[in-house]
């Protein structure tokens, strides 16, 4: 696991945004931290929380272990937000219920740390990471390790968590660029540029 | 809501057992506290936690509110255990997921308070309260208020929570009686009573 980096990048005027991605699960919960610096995404750390063990037979103890693990990662790396996959389907009610329980304690850990939660569908995450909404789990993992330049093999729970974090930072950057474009367009129009001239200029940038 | 009672009953040698029942829900979570004193069950308190409001738009904030509510009830009434319904079915994945999230924070509140969790199926709870596993929600509610001598009408979330608590105390008492009978039978048999004589005596009690 990478050492925590100091926050903020003196070379960039924009504040660094650090996001923790979570892939909750009743057996294994993955987490991963990404920081946005200038135009690049930097891998900060990742790991898994294996909640099932002989000395944790009770569901409540397992959930408590997941909560502690996420809380510890948030305390160590101090992310500005938490990103995770929005779930629509499940194999059956039992698996949805167990996933919901693990998800509930992850959301609670975010609320207790006072950081906002961002949710994205599996397809939004795949588009952000691989560029294709129907990408396989394996393609996502390869793209995550390649994007971040992380040579080591990692559990899919951790790479899925990193993918959720990448998705939030990508979309946020896109939204901020789109916002800048809108502002610029409005400002040129106020200066009585014609719509066609604005489009030509903005389109060229 | 009834005031918290002092724990323990000097007239009884057996320690009073106080249980919090929880009926978790993403919109409304019910809770209810019951104490077992001698041969009777005593209503201690009940309430509901309505987690949806205009100033809590985010799922994480709603879960945090449910957690706070359960934690506050546990702190005020200091139960020895938490009882709730074991879920097998759900309308769909979304409702199972949301129920799971609320359930997860309830289980976490129990783990953080260091009290054990007891789970019973809907049918086990209905048998304990109404004596019939297919009882309707309305029958359960009427029986709960009548059993506990609580005149007031209450939200079904609260009566379902009280029903889960009643179920645990009922079953615990049954198990302890069954245990006593087994011990007594063994002791008489050690004193060379015939099986038939033991059966006649134990059967009469």
Walk along chain A (205 residues) in steps of 10 and give the mean pLDDT of each run.
44 66 96 93 96 87 97 97 91 91 98 96 95 92 93 90 96 75 73 75 60
End-to-end CA distance of chain B: 39
Q: Which of B97, B105, B107, B116 to mutate to test the interface with A (most CBs of A within 10 A)?
A: B97
Which residues of chain B does A107 touch, with a Cβ-Cβ cutoff of 8 Å? 59-60, 63, 101
Q: What would you report as the CA-atom Rg of chain B, rounded to the nearest whole angstrom? A: 19
- Smallest CA-to-CA distance from A76 within A12, A24, A32, A23 is with A32
pLDDT in tens, B87-133: 988 888 889 999 999 999 999 999 999 999 999 999 999 999 999 99
Of all residues in chain A, the one with the smallest CA distance to B24 is: A101
Which residues of chain A does B112 touch, with a Cβ-Cβ cutoff of 8 Å? 64
Which residues of chain B does A105 touch, with a Cβ-Cβ cutoff of 8 Å? 104-105, 108
Q: Shortest Cα distance from A126 to chain B (angstroms)?
A: 21
pLDDT at res. B10: 44
Q: Which CA distances in Å does B195 have to B176, B179, B181, B200, B201?
A: 22, 18, 14, 9, 10
B64 in A contact zone (CB under 8 Å): yes
Q: Do A90 and B101 touch (CB under 8 A)?
A: no
pTM of the model: 0.81
Of all residues in chain B, the one with the smallest CA distance to A60 is: B107
Strand partners, B32: B21, B46
Counting one residue from chain A and one from chain B, the pairs whose CB atoms sit within 8 A come to: 100
Q: What are φ and ψ of residue B58, in 5° steps?
A: -85, 140
Average pLDDT across chain B, whole number: 86
CATH class, domain A17-178, is alpha beta
* A55 part of the active site: no
Determine the average pLDDT of the residues in B73-99. Answer: 93
Q: How many C-beta neighbours within 10 Å does residue B192 have?
A: 7
- Comparing CB atoms, the residue among B59, B90, B93 nearest residue A107 is B59
Q: What share of chain B is helix, strand, coil (3-state, %, to 5)?
A: 50, 20, 30
The 3-state DSSP class for residue A42 equals strand
pLDDT band at B164 (very low <50, low <70, confident <90, very high): very high
């Amino acid at each position: 696991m990478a050492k925590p980096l100091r926050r903020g990048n003196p070379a960039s005027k924009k504040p660094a945004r650090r996001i923790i991605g979570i892939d909750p699960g009743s057996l294994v919960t993955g987490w991963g931290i990404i920081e946005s610096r200038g135009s690049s995404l930097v891998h900060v750390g990742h790991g898994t929380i294996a909640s099932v063990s002989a000395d944790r037979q009770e569901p409540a103890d397992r959930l408590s272990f997941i909560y502690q693990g996420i809380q510890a990662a948030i305390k160590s790396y101090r992310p500005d937000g938490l990103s995770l996959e929005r779930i629509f389907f499940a194999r059956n009610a039992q698996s949805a219920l167990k996933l919901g329980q693990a998800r509930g304690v992850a959301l609670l850990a975010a609320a207790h740390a006072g950081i906002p939660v961002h949710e994205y569908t599996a397809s939004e995450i795949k588009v952000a990471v691989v560029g294709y909404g129907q990408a396989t789990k394996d393609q996502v993992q390869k793209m995550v390790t390649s994007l971040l330049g992380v040579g080591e093999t990692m559990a899919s729970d951790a790479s899925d968590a990193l993918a959720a974090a990448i998705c939030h930072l990508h979309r946020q950057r896109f939204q901020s660029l789109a916002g800048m474009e809108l502002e610029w367009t409005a400002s040129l129009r106020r200066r009585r540029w014609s719509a066609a001239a604005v489009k030509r200029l903005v389109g060229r940038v």
